[in-house]
Amino acid sequence: MPRLIVRPPSPALADGELTHLDRVPVDAALATAQWTAYVGVFRERGWDVHELPRADEHPDGVFVEDAVVVFDDLAVLTRPGAASRRGEQATVAPALDGLGLTVARLGQGSLDGGDVLKIGRTVYVGRGGRTDDAGIAALRTLLAPRGLTVVSVPVTRVLHLKSAVTALPDGTVVGHLPLVDAPATFPAFLPVPEPEGNAVVVLDEGTVLMSASAPRTAALFRDRGLEVVTTPVTELEKLEGCVTCLSVRVR
């Protein structure tokens, strides 16, 4: 059974870090309702949901993917690039107990999980404002013995690599071209018509989850034969969040 690690939004969500977007009002109650609906998609499909305690002191804590990245049976606790987020791992680490995972900590540099895109045995890592060369080198050291290849990708137009691109079940990378620094890096790349269409979570080999804010992209994916599940995440998108960063998937 696939497992999901999530964290409810903090009441201070609106004070979260912003890099590429202007700050606009965030409805905390609506954000919580949208988060609940998001988690409900996984529950309805049989995922085992592990909910972390709400971290009121960490406005960005809901974006739990940035704190830990899972590769097969290895969980890597990251070193977030924003100093305000470096206390989040204290409550993430205990949640990994009992999941049958080997836990490692990044030894140096900075790295956000939102910068890590796994496709088969290749791990693309965004080099940008939150992840640096030392963090990428440290991750490469952890993953090389497991037969995983780490490829550094420039990220200058968005917060994280997965704010620009994600991958469909067949490995095709999708992204809105104005937000993608180096589309030629990927063996197969499909442009999508909306910026919110960049982010998909693979639920199974024939199904993806994505934001309800990108209906034209959803139609494009359905034309490719995929089942597409959509959910609204507008309040999280105001803080440079998306459907990928709201959870850690353990398959």
Active site residues: 160, 245
Place of tokens 């996984």: 42
Name the DSSP class of 243.
T
Residue 17 assigned ligand-binding role: no
Residue 85 assigned ligand-binding role: yes
Helix, strand, coil shares, percent, the chain, to 5:
30, 25, 45
Residue 209 assigned ligand-binding role: no
Provide the token pair at 84.
């305000």
Residue 170 assigned ligand-binding role: no
Provide the token pair at 13.
């969500």
DSSP of 89-147: HHHHGGGGTTTT-EEEE--SS-B-GGGEEEETTEEEEEESSS--HHHHHHHHHHHGGGT
Instruction: Please state, in angstroms and rounded to a whole number, the distance separating the CA atoms of residues 173 and 141.
Output: 25
- The number of C-alpha atoms within 13 Å of 163 and in the hemisphere containing its C-beta is 31
Residue 60 assigned ligand-binding role: yes
DSSP of 206-238: TEEEEETT-HHHHHHHHHTT-EEEEE--HHHHT
Residue 177 assigned ligand-binding role: no
Residue 216 assigned ligand-binding role: no
Provide the token pair at 66.
């940035």
- CA-based torsion, 19, 21, 24, 29: positive or negative: negative
Binding site, annotated residues for substrate: 18, 60, 65-66, 85, 130, 239
